[in-house]
Amino acid sequence: MIFDEMKDEVYQNLLGFTRAQEQVTHLTAPITEADLVVPIADAGQVNRGVIEIDDELIYVDRKDTTSSSATVPPYGRGYLGTTASTHDAGARVINNPRTPRDTIGKSLNQTIRSVFPDLYAVKTTEFPYVAARLHYELPRDANQLLTVEWQPSGPSLVWMPIRFWRSSVTAQVVDVEVGDAIEPGRPVRLTYGARPIELDDFSVEFCDTGLDDNARDVIVYGACSRIVGYQEAARLQSEAIESQTQAQLIPPGATLNAGKYFLQLHKQRLAEEQHRLQTRHPVVLHNTRF
């Protein structure tokens, strides 16, 4: 699943299937990151204020129903910390979005950072064994060494565990000391845990984080629990008649209760995935003294 689809999944979890429809239209022509006139199919769907195109928030100063366009002030592109970018014709234009996709993306990446070191990316690296050499430098992203193996010569291609090794982390460098009777020149394979990589493009796959695909819902639930707090904050704008009416139907704190629900789901799935990861990569007993 790509990053953009994960944002859709978070959005669906937050709003459900039965929800008030947003005012939506689309671009009738492409725009660049510098354009201040936005051509849209139906200007009636856009009001003065914030619109969303892809992951960019844009502030609209006025609209023109005759030319079916919206005018943006000089400060309006890349509004509220989003990034001004190009958009293709046909891109969806949402008036006053309830949950901006940029916020969803940031919450997903915040959750990816937070699950480490409970969940980590599993990576491998190899090097040829040199009999006269004791220390071998690992990649800088290595956080913990899981297994150390070597491949003897022969047709079997089997990887044999190394019984004697120890590792240490000093000044961003991890060294491993190999002490078995290993054939010189044979490959040594190290399996290690690393910090997951954040997602920075809508088309990037979730697996590019380094996490197993089964952990995707852990990240989605975590992002949902973070975002609902923003929705409760919006209820504080009691000067709006709509907010006063809604407050009579939905009690204060209801969205925070939803946040607790998503947080509980996140913690439950996090524990399950942590157990599964530990089962697949158990702690291997080895000797640290040669």
Question: pLDDT tens for residues 237-275?
Answer: 544 545 555 555 555 556 678 889 999 999 999 999 999
The domain tally of the chain equals 3
- Mark whether 53 and 181 lie in a shared domain: no
108 in the same domain as 204: yes
The DSSP annotation for 142-195 comes to: EEEEEEEEE--SSTT-PPEEPSBEEEEEETTEEEEEE-S-PPTT-EEEEEEEEP
Least reliable range by pLDDT among 142-151, 188-197, 261-270, 277-286? 277-286
178 CA to centre of own chain: 37
Confidence of residue 234 (pLDDT cuts 50, 70, 90): low
Last residue of a domain, one of 172, 194, 216: 194
Residues 206 and 116 in one domain: yes
CA dist., res. 176 & res. 238, Å (int)? 61
Domain identity same for 266 and 285: yes
Q: Tell me: do 108 and 241 sit in the same domain.
A: yes
Q: What is the pLDDT of residues 77-119, one digit of tens each?
A: 999 999 999 999 999 999 999 889 999 999 999 999 999 999 9
Whether 62 has a pLDDT exceeding 50, the answer reads yes
Report the pLDDT value the prediction gives residue 252, as an integer from 0 to 100. 58
Residues 169 and 40 in one domain: no
Return d(Cα 98, Cα 242) in angstroms, integer. Answer: 14
Structural domain boundaries enclosing 80: 23-97
Q: Is the pLDDT of residue 18 over 60?
A: no
Q: List, as own/partner pairs, every contact residues 213-219 make where C-beta atoms lie below 8 angstroms and the sequence separation is at least 24, other chains included.
A: 213/1, 214/273, 214/276, 215/115, 215/119, 215/269, 215/273, 216/1, 216/6, 217/269, 218/111, 218/115, 218/119, 218/266, 218/269, 218/270, 218/273, 219/6, 219/108, 219/111, 219/112, 219/115
Give the integer Cα–Cα distance in Å for 140 and 56: 34
Answer yes or no: do 282 and 204 share one domain.
Answer: yes
Quick one: pLDDT at residue 166? 83
Average pLDDT of the segment spanning 159-170:
83
Check whether residue 213 and residue 162 sit in a common domain. Answer: no
Residues 113-122, buried b or exposed e (16+ Cβ, 10 A)?
eebbeebbbe
Q: Are residues 200 and 108 in the same domain?
A: yes
Q: Are residues 116 and 206 in the same domain?
A: yes
